Amino acid sequence: MTKPPTSAIVIFLAITGLIILLFATGFVRDIVTGPPQPMVRTSGKALIKAVFSLTDHTGKPVTEKQFRGKFLLVFFGYTFCPDVCPAELQIMSAALDKLGAKASRIQPLFITIDPSATPSGKWRNMSAIFTTASSA
């Protein structure tokens, strides 16, 4: 039996190690799929501009102009939601309570996804239960 040349084993191991190293560092991945995209970091003003016209729980019209200078905490739901909506409104109310005076900069809005199924009396009842949450 003949021994394989030592230099052939060394070259084979060196090439195999180089390939493993290139895969481990992502070099081969970058060649195949391109370099990873940098994370997008944003700061400053939101690019979302919302113009809306709603009706509040007393039947009065409400627009975005009434909330200028405030952050809007918007929750979409419906008043006949048995579990999730009341629980989430309680969480929103508790969070605003914990903020104390800072909560004055935040306007919570509960917007129904089914206004035809929500009589105005139901809105008044919900508004009384969740005193820090406004409904529109």
Distance CA 74, CA 48 (A): 14
The answer to whether 93 and 126 are in contact (CB under 8 A) is no
pLDDT tens digits for 45-87?
766 667 888 888 778 898 999 988 898 888 888 777 777 777 8
**pLDDT at residue 14, as a whole number:** 85
How far does CA 80 lie from the centroid of its chain? 25
Q: Report in angstroms the alpha-carbon separations of 25 from 13, 18, 21, 35, 135.
A: 18, 11, 6, 12, 53
pTM over 0.75: no
- Which CATH architecture best describes the domain 53-135? 3-Layer(aba) Sandwich (3.40)
Q: Are 107 and 70 in contact (CB under 8 A)?
A: yes
Is residue 134 a contact partner of residue 93, using CB atoms and an 8 Å limit?
no
Q: Looking only at Cα atoms, what is the longest distance across the chain?
A: 98
